A and B are shown apart, each in its own frame.
Chain A
Amino acid sequence: MGAGHAHPLYRPGSSPVHRLPAEVKIVAALVVVLCVVATPREAFGVFGGFLLVLAAVWAAARIPLGWIGRRALIEAPFVVLVVLLPLTGEAPHVEWFGLALSEPGLLAAWNILVKGTLGVLTSLTLAATTPLRELLLGLQRLHAPAMVVTIATLMLRYVDVIVAEARRMRLARISRGHDPRFLWQAGARPAASERCSCGPTSAGSGCTSRCSRAAGPGGCPGCPTPAPTDGNGSPGSPPCPSRSRWRPRVGC
């Protein structure tokens, strides 16, 4: 199984599913997705049947449920808004823990959720058992338009390049104190963190980090003096002992 090197969606193996020609798996996955989409949303049992088929494939290919479950979470951002449908849909409504949920809204949400999830699981199953290169060869053998295959090839080649570059840029940003979690960041942003007067500390041990979390406008807990809340520091507060060590000899 050639060039499927260490791709996060591929799980190497030698099961019958892995050994099937890629074009067979591509067509099978496409057919399953079309069937899922064409199934009426009220046919709850049929969706259970689809899941059983997929589970049988996972068992044959020896893919653990947790492995595929974690990767299926990629769907979450796309379906998160379906929770709004039961709340905003029209009558008739059903009562549920004091909430009036719209019946058509519930059905619409179910429809999106179940079809989306089964589609993602099917695609993941295909990706987990077929190396990238085989997928492209399979598309060629199916006489997919040459342009489509070329675009897919370039995409698969450059997605890794772009992900690696994004990762390096992220490392460089967080190394300079960037903290992209906005909710947690709220308490850590005030300028107080740098020049706080946390009392005597040896070589600044823990000084800024303690205060950066706790210092809101009210100052540090346990600080005798309120922490400054602007960038200039409070006039009388000594800077951390570890501060101001660096002085350029040139230009200052």
Chain B
Amino acid sequence: MSTAPDRTAADPGTGTAPPAPPPSLQVRGLAFAYPDGHQALYGVDLTVHRGERVALLGPNGAGKTTLVLHLNGILTAGRGSVAVGGLPVEKRHLREIRRRVGIVFQDPDDQLFLPTVGEDVAFGPANFGVSGADLDVRVDAALAAVGMGEHRERSPLHLSGGQRRRVALATVLACEPEILVLDEPSTNLDPVARRELAEVLLGLDPTMLMVTHDLPYALQLCPRSVVIDDGVVVADGPTRELLADADLLRRHRLELPYGFHP
């Protein structure tokens, strides 16, 4: 069990500013109990450096979603701290924090609710104060990045599941986040849509934290993985090594698909 205080070796080196940039995400000793008394996190430490792509693995009920909801201040830490790009997650910074942390939720239908794809993508940046020609440029760039440029005027209701997932990703990319957080991005996608989404994600630059049960997807997209169980980080290392550790996977109710050997 290592919590990796310094993982600059894994950083592909996108930080070009002369002083070392603060990590995109720094979680220290985060503990949280729900109002009904259920303790979901018992002191999580996690640092994600700029440009890293990290998979967050863990069984159901491990505290993954609770952790994600702390990253943009929807839940606030009972103990410990979260900082995004050096900015602590506090009430007075919430607006900027929510711009910096782009969460793509599991069900794209939760995220898409406006009459056209273009309006849905513009919703986030407009809330963060972008307007006029700037907003148009943002929407076009985000839709182009996910390969949905020609669907701008269509209704999200008329898109396929894979297309909706990519539009949901665009709605977050348009906010130009510091870190992209994906909650189970591959659920309910057919194999082609799954591969297309992976290609889009691999083509993006931002720091990425991907919450998933889909271990092959984690291997494909994220060089580093963090396993969380019972509210603590139980493993942190190169994805291939973690997935090769059958004992670790068994202990934390993770399972590779039949016939898959990393």
With both chains docked as a complex, state the minimum distance between the C-beta of A191 and any C-beta of chain B, in angstroms.
Answer: 4
With both chains docked as a complex, state the minimum distance between the C-beta of A99 and any C-beta of chain B, in angstroms.
Answer: 39
Bits for B175-195, please: 1 = Cβ < 8 Å to A, else 0.
Answer: 111100000000000000000
With both chains docked as a complex, state the minimum distance between the C-beta of A10 and any C-beta of chain B, in angstroms.
Answer: 14
With both chains docked as a complex, state the minimum distance between the C-beta of A206 and any C-beta of chain B, in angstroms.
Answer: 6
Least CB separation from B148: chain A residue: A251
**A-chain residues with CB within 8 Å of residue B95 when the two chains form the complex:** 177, 179, 188, 193, 208-209, 212
Q: Known A172-B110, A176-B171; judge A194-B129 contact (CB<8 A).
A: yes
The CA-CA distance from A175 to B177 in the complex, in Å, is 11
Least CB separation from A6: chain B residue: B36
**B-chain residues with CB within 8 Å of residue A188 when the two chains form the complex:** 95
Cβ–Cβ contact B130 & A231, under 8 A: yes
Chain A residues 5 to 22 lying within 8 A of chain B, measured CB to CB, are none
Query: Which of A129-137, A145-153, A238-246 lies at the interface with chain B?
Result: A238-246
**B-chain residues with CB within 8 Å of residue A173 when the two chains form the complex:** 113, 123
Chain B residues 68 to 86 lying within 8 A of chain A, measured CB to CB, are 69, 72, 74, 85-86
Query: Which of B199-207, B224-232, B251-259 lies at the interface with chain A?
Result: B199-207
Bits for A155-180, please: 1 = Cβ < 8 Å to B, else 0.
Answer: 00000000001001101111111110
With both chains docked as a complex, state the minimum distance between the C-beta of A205 and any C-beta of chain B, in angstroms.
Answer: 5
Partner of B144, one of A191, A194, A244, A252: A252
Partner of A246, one of B134, B144, B177: B177
Least CB separation from B92: chain A residue: A209
With both chains docked as a complex, state the minimum distance between the C-beta of B100 and any C-beta of chain A, in angstroms.
Answer: 7
Cβ–Cβ contact B124 & A177, under 8 A: yes
Partner of B203, one of A168, A203, A208, A248: A248
**A-chain residues with CB within 8 Å of residue B145 when the two chains form the complex:** 248, 250-252
With both chains docked as a complex, state the minimum distance between the C-beta of B231 and any C-beta of chain A, in angstroms.
Answer: 21
Q: Does B117 touch A at the CB level, under 8 Å?
A: no
Least CB separation from B17: chain A residue: A241
With both chains docked as a complex, state the minimum distance between the C-beta of B24 and any C-beta of chain A, in angstroms.
Answer: 9
Q: Known A206-B87, A242-B100; judge A190-B129 contact (CB<8 A).
A: yes
Cβ–Cβ contact B172 & A230, under 8 A: no
Bits for A77-104, please: 1 = Cβ < 8 Å to B, else 0.
Answer: 0000000000000000000000000000
**B-chain residues with CB within 8 Å of residue A174 when the two chains form the complex:** 74, 98
Q: Does B57 touch A at the CB level, under 8 Å?
A: no
Chain B residues 158 to 180 lying within 8 A of chain A, measured CB to CB, are 171-173, 175-178
Cβ–Cβ contact A202 & B86, under 8 A: yes
**B-chain residues with CB within 8 Å of residue A165 when the two chains form the complex:** 110
The CA-CA distance from A251 to B128 in the complex, in Å, is 23
The CA-CA distance from A245 to B149 in the complex, in Å, is 21
Q: Does B37 touch A at the CB level, under 8 Å?
A: no
21 A–B contact pairs at CB < 8 A? A168-B105, A173-B123, A176-B123, A177-B95, A189-B129, A191-B129, A205-B86, A212-B129, A231-B134, A232-B132, A232-B133, A242-B87, A244-B176, A245-B50, A246-B177, A246-B206, A248-B142, A248-B144, A248-B204, A249-B205, A250-B144
Residues in A lying within 8 Å of B, measured CB to CB: 165, 168-169, 171-179, 188-195, 202-210, 212, 230-232, 241-252
